[in-house]
Amino acid sequence: MTARRIIPCLDVKDGRVVKGVKFVGHTDMGDAAELAARYRDAGADELVFYDITASPEGRTLDYGWIKDIARLLDIPFCVAGGIRSVDQAARCLDHGADKVSINSPALERPELIADMAARLGSQCVVVGVDSRLEDGEWVVHKYTGDPDARRHAGKRTLDWLDEAQNLGAGEIVLNCIDQDGVRKGYDIAQLSAARARLTIPLIASGGAGAPEHFRDVFEQADVSGALAASVFHTGAIAIPDLKRYLADQGLEMRI
Partner 1 sequence: MEVAVIAYGAGNVASVQFALERLGATVRLTDDPAVIAEAERVILPGVGAAGYAMSRLTELGLVEPIRAFSRPLLGVCLGQQLLFGRSEEGEGEGVDLLDLIPGTVTRLEPAGDLPVPHMGWSRLTRDRDDPLLEGVADGAYAYFVHGFVCPDGPATLARADYGGVVPAMVRSANRWGCQFHPERSAEAGATILKNFLGLSC
The minimum distance between CB 173 and partner 1, in angstroms, equals 12
Is 166 among the residues that bind partner 1 (CB under 8 A)? no
CA separation for the pair 6, 45 (Å, rounded): 5
Considering the complex, state which of residue 14 and residue 74 has its C-beta at the smaller distance from partner 1. 74
Is 225 among the residues that bind partner 1 (CB under 8 A)? yes
**8-state DSSP, 128:** E
Identified binder of partner 1 from the candidate list 11, 51, 130, 171, rule CB under 8 A = 171
Q: Which residues contact 64 (CB under 8 A, 6 or more apart)?
A: 95
User: Taking CB under 8 A as the rule, which mask of x and - marks residues 70-109 in contact with partner 1?
Assistant: xx-xxxx----------------xxxxxx-----------
Query: Which region among 101-109, 122-130, 146-154, 210-218 touches partner 1 (by CB under 8 A)?
Result: 122-130
End-to-end CA separation in angstroms for the chain: 15
Considering the complex, state which of residue 183 and residue 220 has its C-beta at the smaller distance from partner 1. 220
Identified binder of partner 1 from the candidate list 8, 56, 82, 170, rule CB under 8 A = 170
Calculate the CA 52 to chain-centre distance.
Answer: 11
Is 192 among the residues that bind partner 1 (CB under 8 A)? no
Is 205 among the residues that bind partner 1 (CB under 8 A)? no
State the catalytic residues.
Answer: 11, 130
Considering the complex, state which of residue 146 and residue 163 has its C-beta at the smaller distance from partner 1. 163
Report the candidate in 185, 226, 128, 177 with the shortest Cα–Cα distance to residue 20.
Answer: 177
CA separation for the pair 180, 134 (Å, rounded): 16
Kindly provide the residue ranges of all beta strands, DSSP E only, lying in the chain, ordered along the sequence.
Answer: 5-13, 16-18, 28-31, 47-51, 77-80, 99-102, 125-134, 137-142, 151-156, 171-176, 202-205, 225-228
The minimum distance between CB 97 and partner 1, in angstroms, equals 8
Considering the complex, state which of residue 198 and residue 204 has its C-beta at the smaller distance from partner 1. 198
Counting beta carbons within 10 angstroms of the beta carbon of residue 133, is it exposed (0 to 12), middle (13 to 18) or buried (19 or more)? middle
Identified binder of partner 1 from the candidate list 113, 124, 174, 226, rule CB under 8 A = 124
Proportion of the chain in helix, strand, coil states, percent, rounded to 5: 40, 25, 35
Binding site for partner 1 (CB under 8 A): 1-3, 5, 45, 67, 70-71, 73-76, 93-98, 118-124, 170-171, 198-202, 224-225, 254
